């Protein structure tokens, strides 16, 4: 083959490669694209290996072959990695039937499961397993032994369901862990590891949430909500191409039609006068009623917690009295959101604004209930801390009396006979575990009764009923996206707060999320119908992440208050014997680190350095916020300039077209173009 033929062949191969790379952008029919793509690939496969020269031809063909194999390996590996994503096929199935809005909940659930799996690995690997493998066994010391007065009923089902008995004196709760500074042959520092894991749980969660929010902000795009070209955006970007179900497609078509009607109505409403004073009065009334409902729910929880403290001194309690607090909080979470939605009808907001108000009010309800529960619980904790002082003297008196008598031999005392003080950390952990388990039970029963039983009634009684049950009341249920996501968010808040007092709570939450994925996927596919209005979920992820970030911050406050302010129990937990829990860090610095490290930490903890550092961070945040606002304003100005340029171009084009049209009309009016006067010669 001559040099000219080689050059021509190389040019043709490069042209075919360029065609393969850019064929998606060609405005051709799909049939023509496929034919040209197949021909180009065959041409490249046939002649690409012949472009080498002399001895280098085989080496070039080998490189081409290995490049193709590497590209194929990358494609196969990417497919394998996608196939290894947990529940990807199940979520895609839900997405094809119900749209991306419902699938966003299950994606969020999977994300929460991954985060909790890492937290469970930290807690189980650095706290639970070292205590089980290297710590003292059960029954060796009083804190790891069920008291003799409770041993007869320690294995009863009712006792274990209340997380007392053997559950209370196990690795599930704070009080089981010993306060030895080092354990085992490895000299593992369990108290330090317990505190670092407790704080690291919040640090890792904060880092992961912020990173996910930044990633969502990077990939987020416009959804047709721009102020410019509203109807064009709705026309070309409203369809959800992942829908694979006919019923969902029909609902999406109706949703787009309704969206156009809403936009037309919005334009009309902007020019309509209304009784603004009546509207303001109704909105103030609605907010007053909802505020009263929030205050009443908070007072009810505070009253129930105080009542449960009175029940603690009684033994003849019924099942309702034992679980009254958990049931009241779960029922408030079920009853109040529909009540808020009914009251919100008075405000007559736009549906998008009404949805944000509804989510904010449910958020305030859950948050107020949770913090009311915490305040009442810490009142009880303070009472137990005061009582533990008297128990501490009694505890040491049991051992000091025989020792003070020099002639008496101290009798061996069984660990189950030792009088234990009130371990308030374990009591707080038990409350959080009971609250989590109660929430799981109520959620699953609500799905089973509210969705499955409703679907069975509609399905089998529709043939013999007076009206159409599917089209009328009660009809099939729709999946409550916002309620389920907010439930996940606040359940995670309870896990963050309770994991410090009950290390086993993270494992319970992992099992809950794992079972929820299968249970709710089955429920939504078997008992629910697609929403009448199918929304894309691209902008809801960061909103939910923002709620999760706020809950994370509010969950950190009680734990930090516990570590820095409250004295730990004197005879249970890894921090017993210390004035404050954070003293274990100072102890490690003094005993294990060089002297200059202690000096550095003392300088770093000086308020004279902390206050300027905080001020510097505040100034940096203010500067970054100002810079971001400046960029946003510049972006808006650029958009305005682009809009003005488009308007000028459109006006110029319209003027040109109208001028040309006038000249054509004048020419058509002339009866004979040959009679028109000749053009004047240009002056020389």
Distance of CA 441 to the CA centre of its chain: 21
Instruction: Report pLDDT for 224.
Output: 41
CA distances from residue 247 to 311, 521, 530 in whole angstroms, order as listed: 54, 18, 8
End-to-end Cα, the chain, rounded Å = 63
CA distances from residue 501 to 282, 505, 559, 618 in whole angstroms, order as listed: 46, 9, 9, 33
pLDDT digits (tens, 9 = 90+) for 186-238: 888 999 999 999 999 999 999 999 888 888 776 554 444 445 667 777 777 77
Q: How far apart are CA 496 and CA 205, in angstroms?
A: 9
Instruction: Report pLDDT for 235.
Output: 78
Q: How far apart are CA 428 and CA 344, in angstroms?
A: 36
Buried b (16+ CB within 10 A) or exposed e, 411-444: eeeebeebebbbbbbbbbbbbbbbbbbbbbebbb
Instruction: Report pLDDT for 54.
Output: 44
Q: How far apart are CA 89 and CA 528, in angstroms?
A: 19
Structure tokens of 439? Answer: 């929430």
CA distances from residue 579 to 6, 299, 390, 564 in whole angstroms, order as listed: 86, 34, 16, 10
Instruction: Report pLDDT for 312.
Output: 65
pLDDT digits (tens, 9 = 90+) for 86-123: 888 888 888 777 777 788 889 889 999 999 999 999 99
Q: Which long-range contacts link 343-350 to residues 24+ away (Cβ below 8 Å)? A: 343/286, 343/289, 343/290, 343/293, 344/286, 344/290, 346/282, 346/283, 346/285, 346/286, 347/282, 347/283, 347/286, 348/279, 348/282, 350/266
No. of H helices and E strands in the chain?
Answer: 22, 2
Task: List all residues 6 or more positions away from 175 whose beta carbon is below 8 Å from its beta carbon.
Answer: 143, 168, 169, 423, 425, 426, 569, 572, 573
Instruction: Report pLDDT for 540.
Output: 46
Structure tokens of 450? Answer: 């509210």
CA angle 62, 66, 69 (to 5 degrees): 140
Instruction: Report pLDDT for 14.
Output: 84
Instruction: Report pLDDT for 267.
Output: 67
Asked if residue 231 lies in contact with residue 263, where contact means CB atoms within 8 angstroms, the answer is yes
CA distances from residue 253 to 235, 240, 262, 675 in whole angstroms, order as listed: 11, 10, 14, 60
Q: How far apart are CA 674 and CA 402, in angstroms?
A: 137
Task: List all residues 6 or more positions away from 88 whose beta carbon is below 8 Å from its beta carbon.
Answer: 82
Give the torsion sign (CA, 12, 18, 19, 20).
positive
pLDDT digits (tens, 9 = 90+) for 381-412: 766 666 655 555 555 555 444 444 444 445 56
Report yes or no on whether pTM surpasses 0.85: no
Q: How far apart are CA 216 and CA 220, in angstroms?
A: 6
* Burial tier of 101 (Cβ tally within 10 Å: 0-12, 13-18, 19+): buried
In the block, residue with structure tokens 């002649």: 47
Structure tokens of 652? Answer: 């110029």
**Element spanning 477, H or E:** strand 477-478
Which residues, listed in sequence order, are joined to residue 5 by a DSSP beta bridge?
none
Q: Which of 395, 432, 388 is nearest to 413 (CA)?
A: 395
683: left (phi over 0), alpha (psi -120 to 50) or beta: beta
Sheet strands (E) in 525-669: 528-529
Instruction: Report pLDDT for 406.
Output: 46
Q: How far apart are CA 286 and CA 292, in angstroms?
A: 10
In the block, residue with structure tokens 């000096």: 599
Q: How far apart are CA 78 and CA 88, in angstroms?
A: 14
Q: How far apart are CA 2 and CA 281, in angstroms?
A: 91
The per-residue DSSP string of 403-417 comes to: HH-TTSPPPP--GGG
Task: List all residues 6 or more positions away from 556 whose beta carbon is below 8 Å from its beta carbon.
Answer: 202, 496
Q: How far apart are CA 500 and CA 112, in angstroms?
A: 19
Structure tokens of 153? Answer: 């009923």
Instruction: Report pLDDT for 442.
Output: 84
**Element spanning 543, H or E:** helix 540-564
The per-residue DSSP string of 110-133 comes to: HHHHHHHHHHHHHHIIIIIHHHHH
Q: Which of 181, 169, 182, 166 is nearest to 142 (CA)?
A: 169
Give the chain's mean pLDDT.
78
Instruction: Report pLDDT for 684.
Output: 46
Asked if residue 173 lies in contact with residue 432, where contact means CB atoms within 8 angstroms, the answer is no
In the block, residue with structure tokens 């529940």: 87
Q: How far apart are CA 551 and CA 536, in angstroms?
A: 25
* Burial tier of 403 (Cβ tally within 10 Å: 0-12, 13-18, 19+): exposed
**Element spanning 478, H or E:** strand 477-478
CA distances from residue 91 to 105, 406, 485, 517 in whole angstroms, order as listed: 10, 74, 16, 10
Mean pLDDT by 10 residues, the chain (684 residues): 73 85 82 87 74 57 79 86 83 77 86 94 93 86 84 84 87 89 87 92 92 75 52 76 71 69 65 71 86 84 77 71 75 78 77 71 77 72 63 52 47 70 85 88 87 84 78 77 81 91 93 93 86 52 79 88 86 86 85 78 75 87 86 86 82 68 60 51 52
In the block, residue with structure tokens 């929820």: 516
């Amino acid at each position: 083959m001559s040099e000219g033929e080689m050059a021509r062949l190389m040019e043709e191969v490069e042209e075919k490669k360029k065609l393969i790379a850019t064929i998606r952008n060609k405005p051709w029919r799909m049939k023509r694209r496929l034919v040209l793509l197949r021909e180009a690939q065959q041409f490249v496969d046939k002649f690409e290996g012949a472009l080498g020269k002399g001895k280098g031809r085989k080496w070039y063909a080998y490189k081409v072959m290995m490049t193709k194999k590497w590209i194929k390996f990358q494609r196969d590996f990417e497919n394998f990695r996608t196939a290894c994503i947990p529940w990807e096929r199940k979520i895609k199935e839900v997405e094809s039937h119900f749209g991306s809005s419902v699938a966003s909940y299950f994606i969020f659930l999977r994300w929460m499961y991954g985060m909790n799996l890492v937290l469970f690995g930290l807690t189980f690997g650095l706290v639970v397993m070292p205590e089980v493998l290297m710590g003292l066994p059960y029954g060796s010391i009083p804190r790891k032994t069920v008291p003799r007065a409770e041993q007869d009923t320690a294995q009863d089902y009712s006792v274990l369901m209340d997380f007392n008995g053997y559950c209370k004196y196990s690795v599930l709760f704070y009080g089981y862990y010993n306060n030895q500074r080092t354990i085992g042959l490895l000299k593992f520092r369990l108290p330090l590891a317990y505190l670092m894991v407790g704080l690291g749980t919040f640090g890792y969660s904060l880092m992961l949430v912020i990173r996910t929010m930044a990633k969502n902000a990077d990939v987020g795009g416009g959804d047709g909500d721009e102020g410019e070209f509203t109807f064009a955006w709705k026309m070309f970007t409203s369809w959800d191409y992942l829908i694979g179900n006919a019923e969902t497609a029909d609902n999406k078509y109706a949703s787009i039609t309704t969206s156009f009607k809403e936009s037309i109505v919005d334009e009309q409403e902007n020019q309509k006068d209304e009784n603004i004073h009546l509207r303001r009065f109704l909105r103030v009334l609605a907010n007053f009623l909802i505020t009263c409902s929030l205050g009443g729910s908070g007072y009810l929880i505070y009253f129930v917690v105080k009542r449960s403290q009175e029940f603690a001194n009684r033994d003849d309690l019924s099942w309702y009295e034992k679980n009254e607090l958990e049931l009241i909080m779960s029922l408030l979470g079920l009853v109040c959101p529909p009540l808020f939605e009914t009251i919100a009808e008075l405000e007559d907001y736009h549906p998008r604004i009404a949805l944000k108000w509804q989510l904010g009010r449910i958020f305030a309800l859950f948050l107020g209930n949770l913090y009311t529960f915490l305040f009442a619980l810490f009142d009880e904790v303070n009472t137990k801390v005061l009582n533990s002082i008297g128990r501490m003297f009694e505890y040491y008196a049991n051992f000091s009396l025989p020792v003070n008598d020099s002639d008496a031999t101290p009798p061996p005392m069984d660990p189950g006979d030792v009088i234990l003080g009130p371990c308030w950390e374990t009591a707080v952990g038990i409350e959080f575990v009971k609250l989590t388990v109660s929430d799981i039970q109520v959620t699953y029963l609500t799905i089973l009764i509210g969705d499955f039983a409703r679907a069975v009634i509609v399905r089998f009684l529709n043939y013999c009923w007076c009206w159409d049950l599917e089209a009328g009341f009660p009809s099939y249920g729709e999946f409550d996206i916002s309620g389920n996501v907010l439930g996940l968010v606040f359940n995670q808040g309870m896990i963050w707060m309770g994991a410090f007092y009950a290390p086993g709570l993270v494992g319970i939450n992992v099992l809950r999320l794992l079972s929820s994925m299968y249970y709710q996927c089955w429920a939504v596919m078997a008992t629910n119908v697609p929403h009448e209005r199918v929304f894309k979920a691209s902008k809801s992820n960061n909103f939910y992440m923002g709620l999760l970030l706020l809950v994370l911050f509010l969950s950190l406050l009680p734990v930090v208050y516990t570590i820095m302010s409250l004295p730990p129990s004197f005879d249970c937990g890894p921090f017993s014997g210390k004035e404050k829990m954070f003293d274990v860090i100072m102890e490690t610095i003094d005993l294990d680190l060089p002297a200059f490290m202690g000096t550095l930490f003392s300088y770093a903890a000086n308020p004279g350095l902390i206050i300027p550092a905080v001020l510097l961070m505040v100034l940096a945040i203010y500067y970054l916020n100002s810079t971001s606002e400046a960029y946003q304003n510049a972006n808006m100005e650029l958009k305005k300039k682009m809009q003005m340029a488009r308007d000028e171009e459109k006006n110029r084009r319209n003027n040109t077209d109208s001028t040309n049209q006038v000249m054509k009309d004048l020419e058509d009016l002339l009866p004979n173009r040959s009679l028109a006067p000749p053009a004047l010669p240009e002056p020389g």
